[in-house]
Structure formats: structure tokens, C-alpha cells
Structure 1
Amino acid sequence: MKELQTWVERYLDLHAQLRPVDASFMGLSEHDHELPPVGPQALEHERHALANFLQEVEGCPQHPDTAGERLDLWLLRSQLRVTLREARERPRQHNPAFYTGEAAFGLISLLLPNERPTNGDAVLARLKAIPGFLAAGTEMLQPLNLPADWVERACKEAEALEALLLRGLPKHPDSREDWQQPAAHAATSVRAFAAALKTGDADPACGRDYLEFLMREAHGLPYPAAEAEQRAQAAFETLRSELVEMAQELDPAKTWQQQLAELEQQHPALDDVQNTYQDWNARALDAAAGLVTPAREYGLSFEFLPEWARDAAGALYFLFYRSPPAEYPGDGSIYWIFAPGADTAAYLRGQNTAFIKAVHAVHHGSIGHHTQNARARQASSRLARLGGTDCASGIAFLSAGTLVEGWACYAEDLLLEAPGFYTPEEQVLLKQFEFRNAACCLADIRLHTGQWTLEQMRAFYRDEVGFAPGRVWAETTRNSIYPATRLMYWLGTQVIRELRAELDLAPQVFHDRLLSYGCAPVTLIADEMRRQHSQGHP
């Protein structure tokens, strides 16, 4: 379908113009020298361009013949509908953290190692663009009543960005002398931007109608928020009971919380942390035999976070594992290990062996995001190859979320089918992960439908779910900015589990086929797999 292919490329061109930092992460490098266009005129142009494009696509009936074409058409319509409604009702330009995040990752996207050399001229161009970008943001935000936590997040990110500009850039191996003065000017503008922010009292919730729109149009979920909430509530209660029962079977004298706290004391020595990551990643690849085909042909290197990024990484969306640019992924990617700080004991508790195994080696590495990203780059859908790319504030297309996070969470439990990979105590940790995901699904829905305030959500996380105090504020603030992002973990996992039970394929066949479609709503992938199954493919 030539017309569909033309539309897809036109959309990617438009996406890169409107979101050039995201495009850099995706490997669409034509706009690497730019920051996003901002201001009332830019926002109006975005709305106009998206509306016209959507009208064109929806006015021309299409009947795709292949799975890749069907996914491309659905994803194209989804992206146009979702980004248009966002631009009309919840513009990212009305969020102060949008400006700090884009300015920071506009640079970071060009500084991270990949198979292409650092484009120093593009870094210089973006450094020079930061003052004007932030000044336009100040003007855009000035008349708005901003949620207090969004302002606080932007201020935290501004401090991290200033550290990157003044202390990080000079440490980068490709640092240039002509970056120095523009970086200093940019740092001054960052301080001015943060100082001009005014804390308001706006409700960050998006409302039930908007949330259900995202569930339907971005995630392809066939049920309303109330049904998703009921499912999550039932799972939350069941999983809490199962946690108690599992702990009692292991040691009746200790609660599951106490047993998990003891797991934190089981960690490698400080000088063996890196080897432990590498070792368990390799063991996970071996343990997956017969369950899924890991991406052994695509390397994963575990390295400590470079010095140029260390002062900035804590307050920014700086990920351990970031999907490489799909347009030029090279032959492998890097997994960052955060370096120890002043409190070595706390650092090692966070680097406990159970967490390294389940979260770093499986969820993000080995058969999790690493294999999922490698397989996505071979998908027949052009948009599904790109949608799961990690960008400045999240994945490129929200529509990729139920597959991307659903698979990674599912993969943690998949290795329960590999005898001996997890200890009984680590199985309690996996149950806690699922318990938290069901809780986060509940909280996402209840916050954005107006049932809970942000403070009630935080109390739930703190008192009933057991999140670490330092994580609660960041987790809830992020969720308030990005509705329908936390529910996609648990709901995506559930779709995969239900589909596997329904199709009853050999495990490796099922999982390889699931990942072969790329980053699209898992409900759409399920439909394609049912179609293939009904046609007699074993």
C-alpha cells in the first residue's frame, strides 16, 4: 500500500519537526540541531497540522492486507488522534518539566554512545538554542496555574541540567572548547527559567473521559476505566493475600516485608557489582532456553555510568537501559550501572543480588527490554519498530506501552518456568512486583478519574503498597503528568498471560511470535496472533 507508506513517512517527518529530541533518540537525525518549537504560534501550527493530517487519513478508507500494514494504519491513526487531543487539552508546552527535560535530553540524546560519532556541531546548536527555548517557555507558562509538584519537578531538573552544562559537558570524551561559552549562557538561562516559575494549585488529573480516551485510542484496551479498576482491585487483594501466604510457608516468624528486607542484605562486594550484572544476564539468557529466543546476536555491555552524566542523572529521566536508536542501532547497546555514592551500605542494599537478577538482568536486560527491542527492529510495521524508543520523558509512542512494559514484567515471571533460576525468597520479590503493578494501575485510574488526590495516592503507595519514601514523590508526580502510563504495566502483562492460555502454543513459538510484531498495543498483537492461529499456523 504505497499511500499508507507515504503517510507513515510523512508522519515521521512531522513528528521529528515537532519533537526533534525524540527524533534524535529514534535515530531520525535530520533535526539533531534543533529543540522543539514552542510558543502560542507553534502550538497552533501543531494543532492545525495534526488535524489536517488526521482528516486526510480518516477520509480515505484503507483495507490493509498484511499484519504490518494493519498495525501501521492503526498506529498512525492512534498517534494523530492522541497527539492532537493532547495539543488541544493537555499541551506538553504547559508543563514546566517539559522545558527542562527537553533541554537536558536534547544534549544527552547526542552525547550517549552509539554506533555513530558524537555530532559536536549539533550539540553546539542545541546549546545555543537553550536560552531562547527556555525564554519562550517562561512566556508560555507565565499566565498558567501550574500544579505545584510539576513546578517542583522542573526545579529539580533545572538543577540537574545546570550540573550537566557546567560540570558534565567538560568531562565528556568528545567535549569541545566552543561548547564552553554557550553552555555557560545556557546555565544562566536555566537558573532564570526556574526562578520565574510560579507555583499554583491546579489539579493535575486529566479526568475520566481523557483517561478512557487514552486507554482506548493509545492502548487499544476494549474496556472502560471502571472495569480496569475492578480487575486491578481484585488482583491487588489476591496478590496481597498470596504474599502473606508465601511468606508464612517460608518462615512463619517473619512477614513478607521482613523477608524482602533480608534479601537486601544479600549483595555482591563493592568491587564485584559489575561482574554480578554480567553474570546474571548471561545466566538469564541460558535459563530462557525453550521459552523464548534471546537476542544473543545483539550485545549488551554493562558499564558504570560515565562521569559526565553522574551529577545530572539522579533528578532526570536517566535510565539504566535505554533502547538504542532503531534507525542505526549498531551491534549492541550499553547498560548503565549507577556508581556508588557516599553511603556505600545503602548503595549495596540497592544492588542486592535478587534485584539485580529480576530487574536488571531480566526485566531490562537479557530477555526483557533488550530482546524485545532487538526483535522490534525487525518488525514489518515501520511505526512498531520505532514506538518503544525511550525518549526525553517516556517512550516515543504511548501506544507501545502495553507491549514494552507488559512484556518486561511478564518476562520476570517467565523465568519461574526455568527450574532453579529464582530462589523461593526471590519468588516472594516477584510476587511483590506484581502486587505493586496492580496497585499502580489502581492509583493511575483513581487519580485521573478524580477519586483520589495526589496526596491520597501518595498515602496509598506509602502505607498500603510499601514504596520506599524516596520513590513515592517522584513516582506519583510522574504519573500525574503522564496519565495512562502506570496502568499499562499490569494490564499489558495480563493480556499476554490470557493470550498464552488461549492459544496454547509451544512457549518459544508463542513468545517469539509475540515479539516479532514490534512495539504496538498488545491487544492488537493478540488479534494478529489469533488471526494467524486461525489460519492454521502452529
Structure 2
Amino acid sequence: MSVGELVDAYLALHARFRPVDATFMGLGGYDAQLPPAGAEALEQERRELRELLAEVEGYGGEPEGAGERLDLFLLGSQLRVWQREAAERPRQHNPAWYTGEAAFGIVSLLLPNERPTDPAAVLARLEALPGFLAAGTATLEGLNLPADWVERARKEADALTALLLRGLPQHPDLQHPNLQHPDGQDGWQGAATIAAKAVQAFAGALMPGTADPASGEAYLAFLMKEAHHLPYSPAEAEHLAEAGFEELRAELEELARRLDPHRSWREQLAALETQHPALAEVQATYEAWNDRALKAAEGLVTPASEYGLSFEYLPAWAREAAGALYFLFYRSPPAGHPGQGSVYWIFPPGADETAYLKSQNTPFIKAVHAVHHGSVGHHTQNARARGAESRLARIAATDCASGIAFLGAGTLVEGWACYAEDLLLETPGFYTEHEELLLKQFEMRNAACCLADIRLHTGRWTLEEMRAFYRDEVGFAPGRVWAETTRNSIYPATRLMYWLGTRTIRELRAELKMPPQAFHDRLLSYGSAPVAWIAAEMRRSLTPQGVS
């Protein structure tokens, strides 16, 4: 088979076994389906992975173009990662996989994009939920499950129940005339009520066990090499992260002393929370700083200013469920049909207006929402990925039910967004001095999380030791610690990609010595793939006369 045919075969396989991913990617024909579940489906998946991987590894020679080279690399990498996951840490053995797929099987069809809601697909997935979750109950029965994974699944089950019973009735498409349930009830609600009972039955059948959630050092090393293409062993990366954490903490403390010798860095950062807009100005503040970030990036990178970003409050139908689910501020629209722009959700205020406004402080809006996720961060990276020569690099960073579609895309995706925060330090006046302190804390936190990811999955730390580190040393908000660490335990080698990805981009820029805008535009032009692999392609493009 040609590279193009191999890509076609992979996408068909991915969509059949992960149809919710296919909806997020914009691959047509799978919106009415949920993933096949059960022992027979898992065995079928393993068999087809082996067969396709043999085809990919049997491909003769090396493609001439960077796009096909990257496609062939991503094919082999993703298939080997998926195959080993299916053998050692099958997602079907994680209770939160079932609740995540069930929830986002519905949510993925309701998010705004250039195509209208398909009512038949929504109804089909609602009706498929009881069977999918029953298969999950049968698969999980008798397994020794990590207790925190069970707790996460239960939280997600409650959120999904809220969506089905109280969220869907608020959706503007609820009364579509094509939505008629066979039991005679109108709209989605008949099927949703039945599905909600199945969700609660699934959650009620879950039995927390005592299993260690750590992947083990060998599995972590495999992901670092095969998915991320990193040149480090876990021990080497741990050493780098530990040194980076200590150095960044010292820099943070020194910067805080210089700014105000009478207050610690924690106190100074807490004071930033008082710098917030009035409640009526929150949305306008997001918009204004996004626009300012686009302007501040001039000469550093070509932002996706031609591709719209609309800041809107989270719709009423999603509000009760969003908190416990992987409901992101920003999701790039399906690459298969992206339309003309993205929607960026602003989470609305709750009962405590004071706490809400502290969380919506201007420095945080500026760095995290306007830069990291919006403007030149994820928004520009995703928009540029759609024009990549590699077909797989166009979709690899798709946010799906529980994370991005290809783990290997993470060092570029998160590495770039974190790098972009600091990139605008090169525009004088964009950040205040105290906002630079916030950026330094973000960088220290990423080094710390890289360290924790490695130490948890190599067995050096327990989950509770990781949590204590996040609370006491890193400065995570107490309410965030449990969710963050539980997610870390489920997905090894995901938290390390932020700091190591940023580090790799910085090293490559220093090595190639290209003009900033040329370097950054070239980096993003390859799409979503391991930064180390993109670096190899950029080096390959060098000629004796410079960069081609």
C-alpha cells in the first residue's frame, strides 16, 4: 500500500474503534455510533492493530516529502502505542473511559460548529448508551480497579446524568421534529431518561479496589521514546526535571524578593487575584486581551488572525455537567469541517461572585486564556495544523473525550502553548513585572509536574505523595489537586510533555538561529507531531546557504 492508503486504513480503523474521536475529528459516517466494548471487541482491536502495523512496518524505502515521512512516522508510532496500551493498560479496563465516552459521545454532537446538530445521530447514541455501559459493567466485573479511577467514573456519571435529565431539555435543538422516540415520548428526553438510569446502574456496580495506578518504568520509557520521540530515559528526564524545578523555584523566589522583599511569591501571586474586571466586563476582558496578544505577536509569529475566535459564556445546557467532565475552555472545531472559527467558552459565575471574580483576574485571563489557549497559543497552532502536509498531523491534536487523539502530538501542542506564554515577554510592556512572576510560577509548576509524572509511574511516589507535592511545593489550588493527580495516574507521560516540549522548542530555536517569525511559522507548519520529530525535519531542511 502507498502511504496515503495506509493513512486511509488507519483512519478507518481508528474511527471504527473510537467513533467519538471520529466525531471530534470530523470523520464522517460514525456519528451515530459508540465504541465497541467487551472482550470480543478488544481482541478484534488487537488483531486489526497487529495486521495494520505489519503493513506499515513492511513499507519499503523512505518517502521523499516531509508530509508523507511524517505520516509514516506517526502511523508506526501511534499503532505501536495503541497496541501496547491494548495489551497492558487497555482503556476498556478503566471505568472512567466508559463515562467519558458516553458523555462526550453526546456532547460532541451538540458543540457548535459549521454543521447543524444531527438529531438522528444524537438519538442513536442516546439509545446505544445502555448497551455500551452494560458491556462496560461486564468487562470491569472482577477487576481490581484503582479506587480513584472508580471515584472519577462516579463523578462523571453524576455529571452525565445531570446532562441527560436537566441539560438536554435546555438545548435549543431539543424539539427537532426528527426526534421521535419509539416509546412515544417526544424529543430526546425519552431516550435520555432511559440512558440516565443505565448510567446510574453502571456507577452503582463499580467496585473500588486496591490496584496501583502506576504504569511502571518500562511502560513509561516506551511512551517517552515511541510516542514523544524523546532522547531521554525516565531517569534522565527525572534528573532534568528535578534540576529544572529547583532552579526555577530559586528564580521565582529571587524575582519575588526583587519585586517586594516583604512578601513571599505566594502572597504576591495571591494579590494578583484582586486585579479583576467588573462582572459585566469579564467577556470584554477576554476579547480585549486576545486582540492585544495578536498585536503583540507581530514580528514573532504569524497569528491565525484570519480564523475567528468567539468568546461566549458556556451555554445553560452544559453548565451543570461541565465541572466534572473534560469540558475544555477551548476546543478546535473538527479538522474535517472546521468552518470559519472557534468558540471559546467562558465559565459563568456561580453563587460566590467574589470567588468567581478572583478566578477571573486579569493576569490569569491574559496569560492562560488569551495567550496559552487563544490568540497565538492553541488557537494559532490548531489553525496552522490544518494546512500541514501530513494528513495525520492535521488531526493528531484533536481534543477527544479524555485527551488528544495522538499522545505523541503533546510535546508540540502543550509545549508550544506554554512556550507562547513566555514568547510575548519579547514584546516590551505586554506583561507587568508581577505577571512575569506568574509566568515563572507556571514554568516551575510544569517542571514539577514533569517530575511528578515520572516519579508516580516509575513507582518512586504513591498517588498521595504526588498530591502532597502538588499541594505543598507546587502551589496548586486545593480543589484542583485530586482531579489533576487522578488524571495523571490514568494517562502516563502526559504531564511531562508540557515542560519537556517547551524545553525542546527553546533548544531548537537556539540551535537553528533563525529569525523569530520564520522559526515559529516553520515550526507550526508541520502540524501536530512530536517536537523532536519536527526538529529533525527542520534540520533536514537546512542547506549550506541557510534555511530553504
TM-score, normalised with respect to structure 1: 0.99
- CA–CA distance in structure 2, aligned partners of residues 332 and 107 of structure 1: 22
Structure 2 residue aligned with 1:245: 254
- CA–CA distance in structure 1, aligned partners of residues 515 and 274 of structure 2: 38
Equivalent residues in 2 for 1:55-134 (5 A)? Answer: 55-134=54-133
- CA–CA distance in structure 2, aligned partners of residues 257 and 223 of structure 1: 33
Structure 1 residue aligned with 2:181: none
Classify the secondary structure of the residue corresponding to 1:30.
coil
Equivalent residues in 2 for 1:11-410 (5 A)? Answer: 11-176=10-175, 177-410=186-419
Structure 1 residue aligned with 2:472: 463
Structure 1 residue aligned with 2:6: 7
Structure 2 residue aligned with 1:537: 547
- CA–CA distance in structure 2, aligned partners of residues 138 and 35 of structure 1: 15
One-letter code of the match for 1:376? A
Instruction: Provide, for residues 308-348 of structure 1, a one-character-per-residue CA deviation record: whole Å limited to 9, x for no partner.
Output: 00000000000000121000000001000000000111100
One-letter code of the match for 1:74? F
Cα distance, 1:356 vs structure 2: 0.1
- CA–CA distance in structure 2, aligned partners of residues 385 and 529 of structure 1: 18
- CA–CA distance in structure 1, aligned partners of residues 271 and 543 of structure 2: 49
Instruction: Provide, for residues 286-316 of structure 1, a one-character-per-residue CA deviation record: whole Å limited to 9, x for no partner.
Output: 0000000000110000000000000000000
- CA–CA distance in structure 2, aligned partners of residues 522 and 57 of structure 1: 22
- CA–CA distance in structure 1, aligned partners of residues 93 and 56 of structure 2: 28
One-letter code of the match for 1:414? L
Instruction: Provide, for residues 450-501 of structure 1, a one-character-per-residue CA deviation record: whole Å limited to 9, x for no partner.
Output: 0000000001101111111101000000000000000000000000000000
User: 172-181 or 198-207, which moves further after superposition?
Assistant: 172-181
Unmatched segments (≥5 aa) in structure 1: none
Instruction: Provide, for residues 395-425 of structure 1, a one-character-per-residue CA deviation record: whole Å limited to 9, x for no partner.
Output: 0100100000000000000000001000000
Cα distance, 1:178 vs structure 2: 2.7
Q: Quick check: 1:526 aligned with 2:535?
A: yes
Classify the secondary structure of the residue corresponding to 2:488.
helix
- CA–CA distance in structure 1, aligned partners of residues 384 and 149 of structure 2: 36
Classify the secondary structure of the residue corresponding to 2:187.
helix
Cα distance, 1:531 vs structure 2: 1.0
Classify the secondary structure of the residue corresponding to 1:240.
helix
Structure 2 residue aligned with 1:414: 423
Structure 1 residue aligned with 2:180: none
Classify the secondary structure of the residue corresponding to 2:541.
helix
- CA–CA distance in structure 2, aligned partners of residues 63 and 191 of structure 1: 51
One-letter code of the match for 2:219? Y
Match of 2:450 among 411, 436, 441: 441
- CA–CA distance in structure 2, aligned partners of residues 237 and 348 of structure 1: 32
Cα distance, 1:18 vs structure 2: 0.4
Cα distance, 1:210 vs structure 2: 0.3
Classify the secondary structure of the residue corresponding to 1:318.
coil
Classify the secondary structure of the residue corresponding to 2:2.
helix
Structure 1 residue aligned with 2:183: none
Cα distance, 1:532 vs structure 2: 1.1
Classify the secondary structure of the residue corresponding to 2:345.
strand
**Identical aligned pairs, as a percentage?**
73
One-letter code of the match for 1:410? Y
One-letter code of the match for 2:459? G
One-letter code of the match for 1:160? A
Cα distance, 1:51 vs structure 2: 0.7
- CA–CA distance in structure 1, aligned partners of residues 212 and 93 of structure 2: 13
- CA–CA distance in structure 2, aligned partners of residues 57 and 332 of structure 1: 35
- CA–CA distance in structure 2, aligned partners of residues 193 and 203 of structure 1: 22
Cα distance, 1:57 vs structure 2: 1.5
- CA–CA distance in structure 1, aligned partners of residues 66 and 484 of structure 2: 36
Match of 1:482 among 473, 485, 491: 491
Cα distance, 1:29 vs structure 2: 2.3
- CA–CA distance in structure 2, aligned partners of residues 233 and 60 of structure 1: 41
The size of the alignment, in residue pairs, is 537
Cα distance, 1:60 vs structure 2: 2.9
One-letter code of the match for 1:537? V
Cα distance, 1:518 vs structure 2: 0.1
Classify the secondary structure of the residue corresponding to 1:260.
helix
One-letter code of the match for 1:403? L
One-letter code of the match for 2:402? S
Cα distance, 1:534 vs structure 2: 3.4
User: 439-448 or 58-67, which moves further after superposition?
Assistant: 58-67
One-letter code of the match for 1:96? P
One-letter code of the match for 1:330? G
One-letter code of the match for 1:106? G
Unmatched segments (≥5 aa) in structure 2: 176-185
- CA–CA distance in structure 2, aligned partners of residues 426 and 278 of structure 1: 19
- CA–CA distance in structure 2, aligned partners of residues 531 and 499 of structure 1: 13
Cα distance, 1:223 vs structure 2: 1.5
Classify the secondary structure of the residue corresponding to 2:29.
helix
Classify the secondary structure of the residue corresponding to 2:208.
coil
Classify the secondary structure of the residue corresponding to 2:33.
coil
One-letter code of the match for 1:216? K
